[in-house]
């Protein structure tokens, strides 16, 4: 089992360095947990991790625009 580096940031702080947060996910494979009012609210993960999670859960990815049509 491998370990995943996890960063934590308040949403307002992450917004100011969003490019850096995305680069960490995309190029370094690192995760950032977004904190809102002291609680974990969301996670930015590498795209391949998201794809594997959807596959493992048996979930289909449906673009929002096709869902609304």
Q: Is residue 11 part of a domain?
A: yes
What is the dihedral sign for C-alpha 8, 12, 16, 22? positive
pLDDT of residue 3: 82
Q: Is residue 57 part of a domain?
A: yes
Q: What is the strand order of the sheet 39-44 is part of?
A: 6-10, 31-36, 39-44
Confidence label for 68 from pLDDT (cuts 50, 70 and 90): low
CATH classification at residue 44: 3.40.1620.10
Number of domains in the chain: 1
pTM for the whole thing? 0.82
Q: Is residue 1 part of a domain?
A: no
Q: What is the extent of the structural domain holding 33?
A: 6-68
The answer on pLDDT for 69 being more than 70 is: no
pLDDT of residue 4: 81
- Which tens digit of pLDDT belongs to each residue from 9-67? 999 999 999 999 999 999 999 999 999 999 999 999 999 999 999 999 999 988 888 66
């Amino acid at each position: 089992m491998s370990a995943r580096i996890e960063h934590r940031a308040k949403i307002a702080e992450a917004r100011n360095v969003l490019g850096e947060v995305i680069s960490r996910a995309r190029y370094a494979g690192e995760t950032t947990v977004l904190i809102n009012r002291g609680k974990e609210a969301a996670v930015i993960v590498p795209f391949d991790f998201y794809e594997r999670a959807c596959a493992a859960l048996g979930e289909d990815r449906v673009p929002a625009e096709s869902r609304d049509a």
